[in-house]
Chain A
Amino acid sequence: MPVAVALVTLIVVTWLINDQFLSAQSVKDLMLNATILVILATAQAVVLITRNVDLSVGAILGMVAFSVGAFFEAAPQAPVAVIFVVGMLLGGLLGAVNGALVTVAKVPALVITLGTMYAFRGILSTWAGSKQYFSGDNPASFGRLSVETVLGLPIITLIALAVLAVVAVYLAFRRPGRDLYAIGSDPDAAKLFGIRVQARVLLAFTACGALTGLAGVLYASRYNSVGALTGSGLELDVVAAAVVGGVAISGGVGTVVGAGLGAVLLSTITSSLTATRVDKFWQQAIVGVLILAAVVVDRVTAIRRANKLRVSEARDD
């Protein structure tokens, strides 16, 4: 996988320039930084594979993160596990709204989720106003999730890896998971084949929303404050991570593991540019080049595959 090679190269080169880059604290920071983006990229990949896209994830994350603060304000004694359920339900609900609009209205997801992105953000802005919740307002055990480690891995990183593994297995080996690829490759053929396209797309959006909700809960644990602007602009980073990780925006191609690696790569670039003291204004340009490179690699392999198929078919005749 080209993205894995790029990631390893990046880490090694940065480490050669600045040996602090792989100090214990720094490795922990790298993992923590990537965690939330990995979950978001996994979620986005599920939707992208069906030849759709969800641009409202930044707004969903903000909404859930803010509701975590509101929840703990109302119920400071509630067990931490409850907020995970609440966050994923809220995220899943917002995702289902996207899914329902996309499947019922038959309007491209790009337009629908652009609309819901503003709508969700608007609702959040109205709800939150200038109110912010700080990490000090939450139970200490909730904040510790993003500090404490098990076997050297931060707890929230373990959560992200578990999510990634479950989704990867589901997409690779379960019938509904395989259906998502079929839909993304050719929606009309999938329908003729008897796949319940609408139900599956609705499922994909709901799953994306629920996982984004999980990311929102973790965001509230990790960062100091959540407010009306939390998560804005994140959607493009997420789509970029998935695309860099080999998930085709035209659907049907890619894996969540690839998307997860893409997320790790993008978040590590930021850290390694700071560690090597490269001007951070370069960072966006580098991300842009990576996206273009990913698309070119993708296109070249697709053409080669098509050529090979043509040759072998010709031989069979």
Chain B
Amino acid sequence: MKMFSQASGRRSGRAVGAAVAAIALSTALAACGSVGGESSDGGDGGSDAGSIVFLPKQLNNPYTDVVLGGGEDGAAETGMSASVLGPLEASASAQVPFIEQATQEQASVIVIAANDPDAVGPSLQAARDAGAKIVAFDSDTNPDYRDLFVSQVEAKDVALVQLEMISEQIGGSGDVAILSATATATNQNEWIKFMEEEIDSNPDYSGINIVTKVYGDDDADKSFKEAQGLLQSYPDLKGIISPTTVGIAAAAKYLSTSEYKGKVALTGLGLPNEMREFVKDGTVTEFALWDPAQLGYVAAFAGKALADGDITGAEGDTFEAGDLGEREVGADGIVIVGPPTKFNADNIDDYDF
């Protein structure tokens, strides 16, 4: 590569200087982009109530933003000072440096949505050794590395509601495909597993055949092309289930501009604001989700209860989650927030997230 050779001799010093400047600049920008650092006014850092750090899968994701909004509200009500740290890219290892940073800042609670259940393990262990309580939310870590997992809904309910919707929309039988997030995403894989088990065991769904699972990596462009590929490879496809907000929106965009609009059913988990257009133009009949703000809200209260020593994360422990009332810790340290909500043309305008 000749591009490098220009940096020879006398100029190399300047080139290195520029490189360093570029790196410094990019670090600074990445820092202001990725480290939210927006402390809510729950109290000064290191106040008696402690501090809570939210570590989402990635920042600048609209879904994550709603979750974090609820989390910050919850933290403010408990009196803890909240901050948000996280990568701009949802990759397995990207969260590790932010966990380390939270540990150094002596956070009393770390609330994390894991991009990979095991990759974050050792650094979470180090954080626990330093005294932090670990609450997983949205996407679980390996249970060895956390005190609690706050789950939107019963994983099985999420799977069942999606199966119910697709079955209704394709008339009870036919080929369906799944367009998921990353191949390693804990929550998506769990829902898919429950769907497969239910199809195998429930005679109501015996006509449904999952022909393939594809992964759009929660990237709009990739998900879009995967949706195209599905329709090309499976001409008899009657429906697509996309259990991820990025995937369902990308697939809906593709369907709405193609000859398959209204012919191939699409359902899954989506954000009302992203899906409104497609519900109104008839591409999508019905999809589901929970209220993401409640997820963050409950996680904040769970973290506070752990930090105060009110609960240990054992099965049967209970704590107050502000306006939402009491929540109980279930088996495997899992706390359930609430049932999923279905969105369709009749109710979608009632929601704004």
Residues of chain A with a CB closer than 8 A to B273's CB: 134
Which residue of the partner chain, among B18, B259, B277, contacts A25 with CB atoms under 8 Å? B259
B22 touches A275 (CB 8 A): no
B347 at the interface (CB under 8 A from A): no
Which residue of the partner chain, among A25, A51, A115, A223, contacts B3 with CB atoms under 8 Å? A51
Query: Which of under 10, 10 to 19, 20 to 34, or 35 or more describes the interface residues of B?
Result: 35 or more
Stretch at the interface among B58-66, B75-83, B97-105, B113-121: B58-66
Majority SS at the chain B contact face: helix
Which residue of the partner chain, among B60, B231, B233, B276, contacts A227 with CB atoms under 8 Å? B60
Q: A115-B21, A147-B257 are in contact. Are A126 and B33 (CB under 8 A)?
A: yes
Shortest A244–chain B CB gap in Å is 16
Tell me, in angstroms, the Cα distance from A211 to B207 when the chains sit together.
50
Which chain A residues in 220-266 approach chain B with CB under 8 Å? 223-225, 227-230, 232, 249-251
Query: Which of under 10, 10 to 19, 20 to 34, or 35 or more describes the interface residues of A?
Result: 35 or more
Tell me, in angstroms, the Cα distance from A39 to B3 when the chains sit together.
23
Smallest CB-CB separation from A143: which chain B residue? B257
Q: A107-B15, A130-B65 are in contact. Are A20 and B277 (CB under 8 A)?
A: no
A94 at the interface (CB under 8 A from B): no
Stretch at the interface among A116-124, A161-169, A301-309: A116-124
Which residue of the partner chain, among B26, B59, B260, contacts A119 with CB atoms under 8 Å? B26
Tell me, in angstroms, the Cα distance from A227 to B15 when the chains sit together.
33
Stretch at the interface among B6-14, B146-154, B310-318, B330-338: B6-14
Which residue of the partner chain, among B4, B19, B277, contacts A135 with CB atoms under 8 Å? B277
Tell me, in angstroms, the Cα distance from A21 to B231 when the chains sit together.
10
Stretch at the interface among B137-145, B248-256, B291-299: B248-256
Give the A-binding residues of B (Cβ under 8 A).
1-4, 6-7, 11, 14-15, 18-19, 21-23, 25-26, 28-30, 32-34, 59-62, 64-65, 88-89, 212, 214-215, 220-221, 224-226, 228-233, 235, 249-250, 252-253, 257-260, 273-274, 276-277
Give the B-binding residues of A (Cβ under 8 A).
18, 20-21, 23-26, 29, 33, 51-53, 105-112, 114-115, 117-119, 121-123, 125-126, 128-132, 134-136, 143, 146-147, 223-225, 227-230, 232, 249-251, 270-271, 274-277, 280
Given contacts A52-B3, A53-B3, 7 further A-B contacts (CB under 8 A): A110-B4, A134-B277, A225-B274, A228-B60, A271-B228, A271-B229, A276-B233
